[in-house]
Amino acid sequence: MKIWTKALGFVLVAAATFGVTQMNVSAAENAVFVATTGSDSAAGDISAPLASLQAAVDRVVASGGAISTIYIREGEYYPVDSVVIEGLKGSAENPITITNYEDEAVTFYGTVDVPSNWTKTAGMDNVYEVEMDRDVWQLFRDEKMVTTARFPNASWEQDDDIGYIFNVLESTRHLSSAKDVDGKFISSFGHFYDANQTGVTADGEDEGSHVAYGYARPGINDVGIADLGYSLEGANVVLHMGSWLSWANEVTEHEVGSDNFKFNTDFSGSGTSMANNAKTWAGKDGKGSNNWIHKNLTMEQGNYFFEGLMCLDHEDEWYFDKDSKKIYVYSEDGPPTEEFSAKAQSYLLDMSDCAYITVAGIDYFGTTLKATDSNHITIENSEFLYPSYNKLVLDIYERPEVLNMLVTPAILLENPAIETHNTVRNCEFAYMDGPVLEMSGRYNVVENNLMHHIDYTNIGTGAEGTVNLINSDYAVFHNNTVHTAGNSEGIRAGKSASIMYNDLSNMSLIQHDGSLINIGASVQDGVQIRYNWIHDAPKSSMRFDSANMGNAATVKYDKNGTMANNVTWNVGQVKVKGAEHYVIGNTIIDSNAAEAIGITVLDDHKMGGFNENTWIYNNAGILSDHFSKIEPLNTATLMSNNYDGDPATLLRDPENLDFRPTGELRGKAKRIDANSVGENALPFIDPAYAGDVHIGAYHMDSDSYWIPGYMDEQATVPIVSQGYEVGRADLMWKEAYGATENVVYFGADASSMSEVARQSNNIYVAEGLVAGKSYAWRVDSIVDDEVVEGSVWTFVAE
């Protein structure tokens, strides 16, 4: 099973098993085997395998350490119940491994088959029903997700006649900010008046002003609830009404033809944190606190959508009634004939108090994994397709159950320095509601993963973001590509986290406020955000945040975080709150913030912007101490050697992703040593910048070009940089995962290419080119002494 994803104009393919070392199992005395043809009463060897993973786990437990490997043979597995693993512990010398046998394709499904005896639903046009024997909460047609019936109509894919689920202007309705004759807002907490989308939040001085969400296509989402012809009473409404917070609850009142509705304001079913948040936002009178009114009505940030059986009116929609246990689908061509399956499981593996277990080379459809109070758990070389989804059709309003590797909160509170060392590596996560994953404890690793189409309801605590490492100090988040996500707060991490070499784009799409990398007010100490590309999104790129804002004496903020050597474009500005941070060598192009501000070093104490002794050094981008207007930086900020403007015209070829500086930008730099800037000592500086220092994220004369994000099994991200010299093109690429050498082929076309270089770096300079002539090139990768052939790329010389 493979998922193809467009990113930056090229195609990635996530291979579930590349990078897996071939295992010699000719003598597998310490192994047990599972196969679709097996029996749980069999011996469990390769010739007489077991049938279920649970039986294999039980054999490992019973062996007392004699069995340390579970091999799963090729096939599709449909366990009804989660595989429970309690107290199973390997060691560093003898870890326990659950893996596919050699390179065989193994997929575990968290779904059950849907019967095919569809019958027409009385009183509903083109609607058919079938009864299930259990609760289900997500439907698939021929292994492709069907959207829960909703208004406004929207799809997870771009569709010609309905909205796109990640375009908030197409997929949600807007909370009316109209006022009555007395000048009071007609909408209130619990009682919403419906309006069409406006496309941009109201102008203002606070954080989050000037946020544009893009555009809606003509004819999409232009019908209000008053024109539906049916009542929404009894539907669920998803409420984006807390800036970075979202809830879901039942519609309690709505009359046919009415432009307003009421919803249940008892959010106790949303979990303790969200219930408490709702009480705060509701205010003392229950109609909205001053902050709720400001955010949702004055600043026009409130959005919502509905899900319910009454909304079922499109071919790609379904619904489930938990009382009758019936599935409903819309079909204009009579009873459905396709194969349907439904999600009935949250977790395939449910591990607790486990250690030194590796789960590798297995794919997952409609299910995911869980490891509680466990350490040294590694999940790698896998594909997770539709891993998590909300349970709104069951009237469950808590956040979806996602991949998690968490320490029980009471244990974490007692021992916040607990070390877990869990790892998620070289996986693809695609199409889910809820965050991709969450981890707590120290020294966790998330590296070389592809994550996309994430979280459309955003219901949760408001702290988890797209990737939740906020309670994971010293975490490593490296070489990941993340795109297309709804939660306003993207990558969350704890103290001393390392967030490096990631490609982040098209995130923070649905909620208001937020940032693609958002570091909270108490966890910035020691955080390193470096060598990332952050681009093409409506919110800010990176933020050191604050909390308890409004009073300079009580606002919470932090110190000693680093943002260095990052490139951002077509995204909001870098936001720096707190003090004593290091913002060094960043390149900020085409900021979509007000007045194209690239870096805001906030000077507003009540908002947590102090920035005494914050280093702003060697950056290229428009600087300000305000979010929405250009003002000089605070004199208490240590500032030197910045290019205070948009550097796009001073870079080699930014339109083709070459962000190296030209000589003109280089001329604006100063020669320094690695220990000082003028009279002030600089505690942090990248060694690459010692000697000839260049403004921005890249060194002009480096023989390699760092390209962030997920590394595929072959070379990807072809960059052809021209215009620097006549007849020359710098050919650059992202190296394959595990590559030790690159073999470059070049020629007039694919058939005439010949080998022109073998090199360890990723820049090849082609010279003597003729303007207007086409050329072809390819990069083969040497991985584990094997040649992995690359794709053929072409370009026309300028």
Paired tokens of 435: 């965050």
129-142 pLDDT, tens digit each: 999 999 999 999 99
Query: What pLDDT does residue 158 have?
Result: 84
Query: Quick one: pLDDT band at residue 435, thresholds 50, 70, 90?
Result: very high
Query: What pLDDT does residue 17 have?
Result: 37
Residue 724 has pLDDT above 60, yes or no: yes
Q: Torsion over CA of 627, 631, 632 and 633, rounded to 10 degrees? A: -20
Query: Quick one: pLDDT band at residue 662, thresholds 50, 70, 90?
Result: confident
Query: What pLDDT does residue 202 have?
Result: 57
**Residues 745/754, Cβ–Cβ less than 8 Å:** yes
Query: What pLDDT does residue 199 have?
Result: 74
With a pLDDT cut of 70, the percent of the chain lying above it is 91
Q: How far apart are CA 712 and CA 508, in angstroms?
A: 25
- In b/e form, how buried is each residue of 611-629, taking b as 16+ CB within 10 angstroms? beebbbbbbbbbbbbbbbe
595-607 pLDDT, tens digit each: 999 999 999 999 9
Q: How far apart are the first and last CA of the chain?
A: 40
Query: Quick one: pLDDT band at residue 690, thresholds 50, 70, 90?
Result: very low
312-337 pLDDT, tens digit each: 999 999 999 999 999 999 999 999 99
| Average predicted confidence (pLDDT) for the chain | 91
666-678 pLDDT, tens digit each: 666 543 333 334 4
Sheet holding 403-406, edge to edge: 83-86, 347-352, 368-372, 403-406, 437-440, 467-471, 489-493, 515-519, 540-544, 574-576, 599-601, 623-624
Residue 22 has pLDDT above 50, yes or no: no
Query: Quick one: pLDDT band at residue 208, thresholds 50, 70, 90?
Result: low
Output the DSSP codes for 605-636.
GGGTB--TT-EEES-BS-EESSSSS--PPPTT
Residue 311 has pLDDT above 50, yes or no: yes
What integer is the mean pLDDT of 445-458? 97
What integer is the mean pLDDT of 207-225? 79
Q: How far apart are CA 398 and CA 348, in angstroms?
A: 20
pTM score of the predicted model: 0.94
Residue 647 has pLDDT above 70, yes or no: yes
26-44 pLDDT, tens digit each: 346 799 999 999 999 999 9
Residue 108 has pLDDT above 90, yes or no: yes
Q: How far apart are CA 203 and CA 753, in angstroms?
A: 56
Query: What pLDDT does residue 524 have?
Result: 97
- CA-to-CA dists, residue 185 to 172, 178, 298, angstroms: 21, 6, 9
361-388 pLDDT, tens digit each: 999 999 999 999 999 999 999 999 999 9
Residue 591 has pLDDT above 50, yes or no: yes
Q: In 3D, which of 657, 601, 654 has the Cα closest to residue 631?
A: 601
**DSSP 8-state symbol, 704:** S
Which is more confident, 9 or 447?
A: 447
Query: Quick one: pLDDT band at residue 635, thresholds 50, 70, 90?
Result: confident
| CA angle, residues 123, 129, 135, in degrees to nearest 5 | 125
Q: What is the SS3 assignment for 392?
A: helix
Query: What pLDDT does residue 386 have?
Result: 98
Residue 161 has pLDDT above 80, yes or no: yes
Query: Quick one: pLDDT band at residue 203, thresholds 50, 70, 90?
Result: low
Query: What pLDDT does residue 674 have?
Result: 36
Give the ranges where 74-177 is alpha helix by DSSP (H).
Answer: 168-171
H or E segment and range at residue 276: helix 272-282
Query: Quick one: pLDDT band at residue 210, thresholds 50, 70, 90?
Result: low
Query: Quick one: pLDDT band at residue 577, thresholds 50, 70, 90?
Result: very high
